[in-house]
Amino acid sequence: MSDLPDDILQMQASARSFAEKEVEPIAQDLHLADAEIPDGVLKKMCDMGIFGLMAKEDDGGLGMGNLAAAVVTEELSRSWFSVGALPARNWGLIEIISRNGTPDQKTRFLPGLISGALQAAHSGTEPEAGSDAANIKTMAVKDGDDYVLDGTKLWCTHACRADIISCFVRTSKEHKHSGISLLLIEKPRGTFPAPEFTARKLNTIGYHGMHSYQLFFDGLRVPAANLVGGVEGLAFKQLMATYEFARMQFAFRCIGLAQAAFEKARDYAGTRVQFGKTIDNFQAIRFKLADMATGIEAARQLGYMVARKLDRGERADLDAGMVKLFAADMAQKVCHEAVQIHGGMGFAVETAVNRYWRDSGLLTIGEGTSEIQREVIARRLIEGRG
DSSP string across 269-287: HTT-EETTEEGGGSHHHHH
**What is 236-383's CATH topology?**
Butyryl-CoA Dehydrogenase, subunit A; domain 3 (1.20.140)
Task: List the CATH code of the domain at 120-233.
Answer: 2.40.110.10
3-state helix vs strand vs coil in the chain, percent to 5: 60, 15, 25
Q: For 6-115, which CATH class?
A: mainly alpha
Catalytic residue among 24, 367, 371, 375: 367
* Model pLDDT, residue 383: 85
Please classify residue 54 by burial: count the beta carbons closer than 10 Å to its beta carbon, then call 0-12 exposed, 13-18 middle and 19+ buried: buried
* Model pLDDT, residue 264: 98
The pTM of this model reads 0.96
Is position 367 annotated as part of the catalytic site? yes
* Overall residue count recorded for the chain in this entry: 386
* H or E segment to which residue 298 belongs: helix 283-311
Q: Which of 204, 220, 236 is nearest to 100 (CA)?
A: 236
Q: What percentage of the chain carries pLDDT values higher than 90?
A: 92
**Number of Cβ within a 10 Å radius of residue 172:** 14
The tens digit of pLDDT for each residue in 144-153 reads 999 999 999 9
Tell me the domain boundaries of the chain. Answer: 6-115, 120-233, 236-383
The tens digit of pLDDT for each residue in 194-245 reads 899 999 999 999 999 999 999 999 999 999 999 999 999 999 889 888 999 9
* Model pLDDT, residue 385: 63
Strand 212-223 to 197-202 pairing: antiparallel
Question: At CA 257, angle to CA 251 and CA 260, rounded to 5?
Answer: 140
What phi, psi does 127 have (nearest 5°)?
-55, -35
User: 39 Cβ partners below 8 Å, 6+ apart?
Assistant: none
What's the distance, Cα to Cα, between the start and end of the chain in Å?
39
Give the chain's residues under pLDDT 50.
1, 386
Is 352:30 a contact under the CB 8 Å cutoff?
no
Task: HSE, CB side, 13 Å, CA atoms: give it for residue 78.
Answer: 23
Task: HSE, CB side, 13 Å, CA atoms: give it for residue 381.
Answer: 9
